[in-house]
Amino acid sequence: MGSHVDLSIRAAADALRAGTLTAAALLDAVLDQAARTEAELHSYLTIDRKGAKAAAAAADEAFSRGEDHGPLQGIPIAVKDNMVTNGVETTAGSQVLSGYLPPYDATAIAKLRSSGAVIVGKANLDEFAMGSSTENSSYGPTRNPWNTDRVPGGSSGGSAAAVAAGSALGALGSDTGGSIRQPASLCGVVGMKPTYGLVSRYGLIAFASSLDQIGPITRTVDDAVIVLETIAGHDPLDATSYRGDLPEFGAGLDRGVEGVRVGVVRELSGEGIDAEVLEEFERTLDRLRGAGAEIIDVSLPSTSYALSCYYLIAPAECSANLARFDGVRYGNRVDGSTVEEMMGRTRRSGFGPEVTRRVLLGTYALSAGYYDAFYGQAQRVRTLVSRDFATAYEQVDVLVSPTSPTTAFELGARTQDPLSMYMSDICTIPSNLSGEPSISVPVGVDGGGLPIGFQVMAPALGEATLFQVAAEIERLSVFERLPSEGVGV
Amino acid sequence: MTYEAVIGIETHVELKTRSKMFCGCSAEFGGEPNTHVCPVCLGLPGSLPVPNEQAIDWIIAIGLALDSTIAGHSVFHRKNYFYADMPKNYQISQFDIPICSNGRLEVEVDGEQATIGVTRVHMEEDTGKSTHMGGDGRIQSADYTLLDFNRAGVPLVEIVSEPDMRSPAQARAYVQELREIVARLGVSDAKLEEGSMRFDANISLRNEGAEELGVKVEIKNMNSFRSLERALAFEIERQQNVLDQGGQVQQETRHWDEGAGITHSMRSKEESSDYRYFTEPDLVPIEISDEWRERIRSGLPELPGQRKGRYVEMGVDPVTAATIVGGGLGDIFEAAVSGGGSARTVSNWLVGEVTAYLRREGTSVGDTPLTGGALAELARLVEDGDVSSNAAKQVLEGVLAGEGAPRDVAVARDLLAMKDTGALEAIVDEILADHPDEAARLKDGDMKVLGYLMGMVMRETGGKADPKTANEMLRTRA
């Protein structure tokens, strides 16, 4: 691996300030790494070489003038291609938007830019963030840097793969049902979904608005704090954005877990989880216990229904969110003899099978006569899931489970069986339903050398505690941060 | 068979907020096509709505003016249907928890009062505008369609009445009253011609005395109060004929053809039956505190109904009071009265000469030189006997035509009353002498000839004689 590309954001930021590294050199190293690995990995849909070089040069100039806009200044970052970037093609992994040049930046992108970050390019994803393997991208799948026969997870598979492969030092993903945490787990990196409303969704191409949240994918917990601090905060352009003061996310990073009450979610850490994943999970619990944490068995009975609930709410919202892709104002158009025919043809040819499936499911779930039985019922279950969490947090500080029931699976293994694909998110979906923060930390590898992630969940705005526990798990784990054998390494 | 018409009306009112409902774009009417647009109102990928608080204030004001219950907690929904000029292919609207519900409006037709229930008043956003090019101007025959999104996202208030109206005249009175209210509140231009106020009507017939409702028909495309009244009258007759011939009215949407004066069946929209409403996840519920509601209530202006009542108490007859308020003459009336004019005199001028002049010239009172002060001055001239009430009408015309202040007009037009009793006496004596028979009859107490003789005096003096003085002189000198 290249000399600089395996640095953490923190280490690179220190080197940039020490004068031992320039943003331009760091970017060159990252672009070289991408040039070596991309043909096989395909973690990026677009690499914005020109924009990135300009941003790196601007960062170096700022350093030379003594200007410091924070730790991301000069750091190469990948962003998932469902966040709009002014003048840079944004497709959300869909044919319907191929060639689309947005006229504005998403708020999270604007915040990255004003902090001096260098946006390398737009990372691959499952079309409109719908999927768990990045195989639903209509521009071809991304492969896992640890083993290129394997998927990187999804839907933020491109972001996770880029960070794992050294084609970016950090990335933004979006998480609707686990789309940051599950690929982070499968690619051996840290992935964090903030409290709903903490990061503005303005400019994030909506999948399921009440569940979507942008968050960091990084190599370390500390780096995740850095990225989150940059992108979080109230945005007057997002009515669901949190208005209060932000917690100090990194306040507990060095505090350890002495006396911390850790609840093990029974329903998410037994049946349906691979034996090797469970073994690693148990080992991590032992380490936490050894570090002074109190491990408590907790039951969240409603989480058994979380997956079904999610697969009603998310498709229902997406059926409306994706209605705007009709060929009238932007994106690809397939002509027809009437406007209805044009819209129908545009959508039929523009959307892939998984997106079509979810739009149809959602349309059905909202239809008159079915609303109460499906969408209405799902909303009630969502309330129950939130209540279960609230009850649990009366006796524990954080909840834990494996992030993904399995390690990275082979490409094609689940594409013919949507239900088995949906099961990939069984552990991550509950905190999307409750809108609470959650993080995946790599803790080990399985017999095949594939990474295993450990999930920590906390109550709303409990980011500081979440990072505190995650940082301790990171310290306690015996884990090589980057793939030792894999593509381009 | 005698039938009773049952009419309900849905009214859409565009608010005249500076910016649109969910973004910062100008909500002003007009502008080059697609110049008042941004990522939000164009529905670009990733954009999000943020509600306009001014619009919420104003819908609360409308609700309060209609005696509605204002919800403490209200929710936006998505109404899903595909239409080329609707950028997101869903409209942000309200469904089961509108901001205002259970209101009412008092209307009066030919002196008969009726209370029309207002089921709900809710907030939504307007769509863009389609212009179909080629063919007969309708989408089916068009070669292509031009889209203008300047109106997309303009705040729109929907006011839904109960089916409480029983005649086209009542329906007209209801929408006119509504327009007066929103105009008075200052929340909408309420211009029918610009589409800032529009209405659809539902109408069914039932046997008189029956409880059960008949099959209803929705009528669209009525662009004036008159066309609403005409369309309903046509529809009543059409349905009556269908029923009389033993047929059944079809539930459908019908299009009013203003030129032909008929309604005809519109192609039914296949999608229209199921809008798949669900809570708008991009917005949080609107929580309207008691303080918020009461702040709006305390800022409400006097409403047309209250104003009319006050004018009636001032001695103006109810029909005249309604004409003044409805004709936008309330402010000038009040200025004239507070300047010393008698309410009755001023109000009669306003609904008489002034209204006739405005109608003839196609203008509004604000665009004429007439002021409340001028009316008060004229009233004083009449009271002091300087101008006869007949001459006052001519003075009024002069003022309206821009000839100057009332006294100047009276002088210029030689309309000042004859205060010289000697000269008047001479004229009266001459007339009595020329008409000895009439003079004798008057002397005998036959008052019927008095009017005739007064007319002679007025003709002779060019209307400048003070009627009271002349009247008295005729009787005493006959």
Q: Are B27 and B17 in contact (CB under 8 A)?
A: yes
Query: What totals of helices (H) and strands (E) does chain B contain, helices first?
Result: 16, 16
Q: Are B339 and B375 in contact (CB under 8 A)?
A: yes
Q: How far is it, in rounded angstroms, from Cα A81 to Cα A108?
A: 13
Residue B430 reports pLDDT greater than 70: yes
- What are B386-411's pLDDT values in tens digits? 888 888 999 999 999 999 999 999 88
Residues of A in contact with B145 (CB under 8 A): 339
Q: Are A489 and A148 in contact (CB under 8 A)?
A: no
**pTM score above 0.90:** no
- What are A394-425's pLDDT values in tens digits? 999 999 999 999 999 999 999 998 888 999 99
Length of chain B: 478
Query: Residue A303 has which token pair?
Result: 């989480």
**Most distant pair of Cα atoms in chain A: their distance:** 70
Can A179 be counted among the known catalytic residues? yes
Q: How far is it, in rounded angstroms, from Cα B22 to Cα B4?
A: 43
Mutate to test the interface with B, among A211, A235, A321, A348 (most CBs of B within 10 A): A321
**Nearest CA-CA distance, residue A317 and chain B, Å:** 8
**Nearest CA-CA distance, residue B137 and chain A, Å:** 15
Q: How far is it, in rounded angstroms, from Cα B17 to Cα B186?
A: 10
**Nearest CA-CA distance, residue B6 and chain A, Å:** 28
Q: How far is it, in rounded angstroms, from Cα B324 to Cα B338?
A: 16
Residues of B in contact with A90 (CB under 8 A): 45
Asked if B84's CB is within 8 angstroms of A328's CB, the reply is yes
The residue from A94, A115, A133, A155 that is catalytic is: A155
Q: Of A427, A475, A21, A9, which Cα lies nearest the Cα of A252?
A: A475
Asked if A363's CB is within 8 angstroms of B276's CB, the reply is yes
Q: What is the mean pLDDT of chain B?
A: 91
- DSSP assignment of A172-212: EEEESSSTTHHHHHHHTSEEEEPPTTSB--TTB--SSTTT-
Asked if A100's CB is within 8 angstroms of B47's CB, the reply is no
User: What pLDDT, on a 0 to 100 scale, did the predictor assign at position B138?
Assistant: 77
Q: What is the mean pLDDT of chain A?
A: 95
Residue of A nearest to B148 (CA): A329
- What are B281-292's pLDDT values in tens digits? 999 999 999 999
Q: Are A185 and A451 in contact (CB under 8 A)?
A: yes
Nearest-CB residue to A240 (from B145, B276, B282): B282
Query: Residue B475 has which token pair?
Result: 């009787």
Asked if B47's CB is within 8 angstroms of A203's CB, the reply is yes
Q: How far is it, in rounded angstroms, from Cα B144 to Cα A242?
A: 44
Tell me phi and psi for residue B418, to 5 degrees: -75, 105
- Sheet with B77-80, edge to edge strand ranges: B90-93, B77-80, B278-279
Q: How far is it, in rounded angstroms, from Cα A456 to Cα A466?
A: 7
Residue B350 DSSP code: I
Residue A129 DSSP code: G
B421-477 carries CATH number 1.10.3860:
no
Query: How many A/B residue pairs have CB atoms within 8 Å?
Result: 103
- Sheet with A170-175, edge to edge strand ranges: A44-47, A118-123, A76-80, A170-175, A213-218, A190-193, A438-445, A451-457, A398-402, A261-265, A294-298
Q: How far is it, in rounded angstroms, from Cα B62 to Cα B184?
A: 10
- DSSP assignment of B114-136: EEEEEEEEEEEE---EEEEESTT
Q: How far is it, in rounded angstroms, from Cα B279 to Cα B61?
A: 24
C-alpha distances in angstroms, A238 versus A90, B284, B436, B449?
20, 10, 94, 84
Torsional class of A70: left (φ above 0), alpha (ψ -120 to 50), beta (otherwise): left
Asked if A264 has any chain B CB less than 8 Å from its own CB, the reply is: no
Q: What are the beta bridge partners of residue A88?
A: A85
**Nearest CA-CA distance, residue B48 and chain A, Å:** 6
Q: What are the beta bridge partners of residue B207?
A: B3
- What are B47-100's pLDDT values in tens digits? 999 999 999 999 999 999 999 999 999 999 999 999 999 999 999 999 999 999
Of A37-46, B323-332, B376-385, highest mean pLDDT: A37-46
Residues of A in contact with B144 (CB under 8 A): none
Can A155 be counted among the known catalytic residues? yes
Asked if A396 has any chain B CB less than 8 Å from its own CB, the reply is: no
User: What pLDDT, on a 0 to 100 scale, did the predictor assign at position A488?
Assistant: 43
- What are A140-156's pLDDT values in tens digits? 999 999 999 999 999 99
**Nearest CA-CA distance, residue B344 and chain A, Å:** 55
Q: What one-letter code names the amino acid at B187? A: V
Sign of CA dihedral A407, A411, A412, A418: positive
Mutate to test the interface with B, among A329, A342, A364 (most CBs of B within 10 A): A329
Tell me phi and psi for residue A6, to 5 degrees: -95, 10
Sign of CA dihedral B373, B376, B378, B381: negative
Asked if A244 has any chain B CB less than 8 Å from its own CB, the reply is: no
Please, what is the Cα angle at B225 between B27 and B121, to 5 degrees?
55
Residue B270 reports pLDDT greater than 50: no
Residues of B in contact with A100 (CB under 8 A): 45
Residues of A in contact with B46 (CB under 8 A): 82-84, 102, 106, 202-206
Mutate to test the interface with B, among A94, A213, A324 (most CBs of B within 10 A): A324
Residue of A nearest to B274 (CA): A368
Q: How far is it, in rounded angstroms, from Cα A171 to Cα A142?
A: 15
The terminus-to-terminus CA distance of chain A in angstroms comes to: 5
> Quick one: average pLDDT of B426-444?
87
Mode of pairing for the β-strands spanning B100-109 and B69-70:
antiparallel
Residue A144 DSSP code: B
Nearest-CB residue to B278 (from A204, A316, A340): A316
Q: Give the residue with greater pLDDT, A71 vs A247.
A: A71
**Nearest CA-CA distance, residue B80 and chain A, Å:** 7
Asked if A209 has any chain B CB less than 8 Å from its own CB, the reply is: yes
Please, what is the Cα angle at B443 between B437 and B448, to 5 degrees?
75
Residue B376 reports pLDDT greater than 70: yes
**Nearest CA-CA distance, residue A328 and chain B, Å:** 7
**Nearest CA-CA distance, residue B7 and chain A, Å:** 27
**Most distant pair of Cα atoms in chain B: their distance:** 97
Q: How confident is the model at residue B469 (pLDDT cuts 50, 70, 90)?
A: confident
Asked if B49's CB is within 8 angstroms of A324's CB, the reply is no
SS3 B322: helix
Q: Are B236 and B203 in contact (CB under 8 A)?
A: yes
Nearest-CB residue to B278 (from A92, A97, A375): A375
Residues of B in contact with A327 (CB under 8 A): none
Residues near B194 by Cβ (< 8 Å), separated by ≥ 6? B29
Q: How far is it, in rounded angstroms, from Cα B256 to Cα A169?
A: 65
C-alpha distances in angstroms, A387 versus A295, A383, A392, A430, A463?
21, 6, 9, 11, 19
Asked if A102's CB is within 8 angstroms of B45's CB, the reply is yes
Nearest-CB residue to A239 (from B87, B90, B282): B282
Q: In this predicted structure, which of A39-48, A218-227, A446-455, B303-312 has the lowest mean pLDDT?
A: B303-312
Q: Could you state, in order of their start, the residue ranges of all structural domains in chain B?
A: 3-296, 302-412, 421-477
Q: Give the residue with greater pLDDT, A478 vs A403.
A: A403
Q: How far is it, in rounded angstroms, from Cα A78 to Cα A168?
A: 6
Residue B285 DSSP code: P
> Quick one: average pLDDT of B216-228?
93
The residue from A115, A137, A179, A302 that is catalytic is: A179
Query: Residue B314 has which token pair?
Result: 């001032």
Nearest-CB residue to B48 (from A90, A239, A367): A239
Asked if A243 has any chain B CB less than 8 Å from its own CB, the reply is: no
Asked if A196 has any chain B CB less than 8 Å from its own CB, the reply is: no
Nearest-CB residue to B46 (from A202, A323, A326): A202
Asked if B50's CB is within 8 angstroms of A238's CB, the reply is yes
Q: How far is it, in rounded angstroms, from Cα A373 to Cα A360?
A: 16
Query: Residue B411 has which token pair?
Result: 């002088």
Query: Residue A378 has which token pair?
Result: 């799902």
Asked if A383 has any chain B CB less than 8 Å from its own CB, the reply is: no
